[in-house]
């Protein structure tokens, strides 16, 4: 498994003067911002949930031999169970 995306912090655009003066446009701006935040949170949790099904390999060499590619994630199945990146 490869984590395809790195999430950037949410940097919303500032509402324009026209949007601030018009209550309907300002409300649409806020709804848009809340949608962006909601999608960001859902994407982050989606990425974290992918770690549940990582394959287990003792080390990088075995992960490569097992068919993983550089950049893929695997876990060591130890105590603690460490998440590693194939390199």
List pLDDT tens digits, range 51-74: 778 899 999 999 999 999 999 889
pTM over 0.85: no
Of 81, 17, 15, the residue nearest 51 (C-alpha): 81
* Residue 21 covered by a domain: yes
Environment class of 40 (CB within 10 Å of its CB; exposed 0-12, middle 13-18, buried 19+): middle
pLDDT computed for residue 47 by the predictor:
64
What's the rounded mean pLDDT across residues 39-48? 72
Looking at the chain, the whole-number percentage of residues with pLDDT higher than 70 is: 77
Give yes or no: residues 32 and 62 share one domain: no
Total number of domains constituting the chain = 2
Q: How confident is the model at residue 1 (pLDDT cuts 50, 70, 90)?
A: very low
Q: What is the DSSP string of 36-55?
A: HHHHHHHHHHHHHHGGGG--
Token reading at 66: 């097992």
Res. 45: pLDDT tops 80: no
- How much is the mean pLDDT over the chain? 79
Residues 29/15, Cβ–Cβ less than 8 Å: yes
Give yes or no: residues 43 and 58 share one domain: no
- Give the domain extent around 25: 14-53
Give yes or no: residues 36 and 64 share one domain: no
Give yes or no: residues 58 and 47 share one domain: no
Q: Using CA atoms, how far apart are residues 1 and 53, in angstroms rounded to an integer?
A: 9
* Residue 7 covered by a domain: no
């Amino acid at each position: 498994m490869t984590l395809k995306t790195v999430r950037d912090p949410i940097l919303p655009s500032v509402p324009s003067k026209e949007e601030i003066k018009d209550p309907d446009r300002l409300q649409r701006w806020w709804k848009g911002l809340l949608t962006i935040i909601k999608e960001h949170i859902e994407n982050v949790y989606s990425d974290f949930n992918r770690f549940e099904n990582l394959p287990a390999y003792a080390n990088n060499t075995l992960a490569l031999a097992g068919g993983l590619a550089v950049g893929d994630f695997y876990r060591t199945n130890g105590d603690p169970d460490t998440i590693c990146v194939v390199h």
